[in-house]
Structure 1
């Protein structure tokens, strides 16, 4: 069930990637990354969708996402940095 949960989170990110011309990926364990245009409405919508999905499980997944935002100003910096 835990693996399916992570797969479903990945599907949310993939959909956001396609809708907003971003780049999404799985980084291992329970870590994901998505690069999107700097649009607060897009970011808030994605956070709300993921949190709604988690609430659907009523806290039984033992998982609470941590969202971190970083604005890329130098496109020469590697993504993993």
Structure 2
């Protein structure tokens, strides 16, 4: 891409390709989403990742202050924890 060209990302289209994400138009919290585009990895790591994480921390903090009785819908033992890291 030549220097000076404009880039307009189509954010609403991210993670929507049915070849990689079957049924992408339907919310499914149990869908295997290991190949999502969030933040990228390696040389393609998102420059805005730190800002996104900061925003998430602020949003969750505000949510917990406004709804102090918020709790999990399932027992904590049913939660899946991801330990893999991306570099």
| Superposition TM-score, scaled by structure 1 size | 0.31
Considering only CA atoms, is the larger Rg found in Structure 1 or Structure 2?
2
| Superposition TM-score, scaled by structure 2 size | 0.30
Larger proportion of helix:
1
Larger proportion of strand:
1
